[in-house]
Amino acid sequence: MKKRKVEKAIKLKRIFRGAILFNEKEMQAINHYCKKYKITNRSKMMREMIIGSILKKFDEDYPTLFENTPNLFNQNGNGK
């Protein structure tokens, strides 16, 4: 069972670095947000917000069974 935990930890280890540059107003907003909500780990906060936003967009863009895209039979896109 120990091997499984070790393998999982290796797979989730963060090894890729990304850099973000902010202007003065953006940095002030981030500082205000962190102070207001008592956030001490900004890296974690930004990572969670970025990944959360990406996953939300993936969920919104997920293809559905009945999409409203026009095709040969319904040029208006309403299926009639």
pLDDT score recorded for residue 12: 83
Q: Is residue 12 part of a domain?
A: no
Q: Is residue 32 part of a domain?
A: yes
Q: Tell me the DSSP string of 7-55.
A: HHHHHT-----------HHHHHHHHHHHHHTT---HHHHHHHHHHHHHH
Q: Is residue 49 part of a domain?
A: yes
pLDDT score recorded for residue 79: 52
Q: Is residue 42 part of a domain?
A: yes
Report field, pTM of the whole predicted structure over 0.85: no
Q: Is residue 47 part of a domain?
A: yes
* pLDDT interval class at 31 (50, 70, 90): very high
Q: Residue 39 to residues 2, 17, 45, 52: CA-CA distances in angstroms?
A: 33, 21, 8, 17
Q: Is residue 3 part of a domain?
A: no
**How many structural domains are present in the chain?**
1
